[in-house]
Amino acid sequence: MMPVTPDIIIRPLGRDDAEIVAEFLNPTFTSIAYNLPMNEALAREFIFEPGPLTLFPVRWQRHMHLGAWRARQLVGFLDAATGLDSDRQTSPDYEPVGLLRFLALPERADLIEPVGIALIQAAERFWLDVGTRHIQAFHLSTGYPTFQAGAGVLPNEWVAHFRLLTMTGYVLRQRYQRFVRQLGQMI
């Protein structure tokens, strides 16, 4: 008899999920320098508010918070948005950028790739549905204030994130590890 491998299910998360998201993210936050622990109140404020706090000005338009679930456990998280980051404050509202604000991958090595790819594909469907084609991941202006001293950049030691982002078509664009990607054909 073959063992059953639980499916990975991606679903949107909301304010009611702040506690479980904080519990999932907290080990990640406390394992890296320049971070503060994540709790439910901070998750609500920095992740689930319509205009989440950032160190630099951002004109937010839409948000999508995605959780990857396996056997009823949260095993991955992605925070996606659209808007105008600090570099594009003077751009017209109809030219928003897709923003991958944060990506938390599972600790289990065998789940990193399937969970990460499923989360990124779901986020890319969101960006395509709202008409955004230019994506920035871990941009300096859109990070969580409690992560990496508010810079929002990808830590050097996150090798799995680097590999996953480059494997899914993202290109390292700046020395502080901002990734970018073009989705589909521009109309």
What is the pLDDT of the chain when averaged over all its residues? 84
Could you report the per-residue pLDDT of 81-130, keeping only the tens digit for each? Answer: 999 887 787 777 677 889 999 999 998 999 999 999 999 999 999 999 99
Measured between alpha carbons, how far is 106 from 88 in angstroms, rounded to an integer? 33
Q: Which residue intervals of the chain are DSSP H helices?
A: 18-30, 40-43, 109-129, 159-167
Strands 134-137 and 97-104: parallel
DSSP string, 82-100: EEE-GGGTTS-TTS-EEEE
In the chain, what percentage of residues exceed pLDDT 70?
A: 86
pLDDT at 28: 79
CA distances from 9 to 61, 91, 117 (A): 26, 36, 12
Could you report the per-residue pLDDT of 40-64, keeping only the tens digit for each? Answer: 998 998 899 988 878 788 888 999 9
pLDDT at 156: 64
Element (H, E) at 178: strand 178-182
pLDDT at 122: 98
Determine the CATH number of domain 11-182.
3.40.630.30
Count the Cβ atoms, other than its own, within 10 Å of residue 51. 10
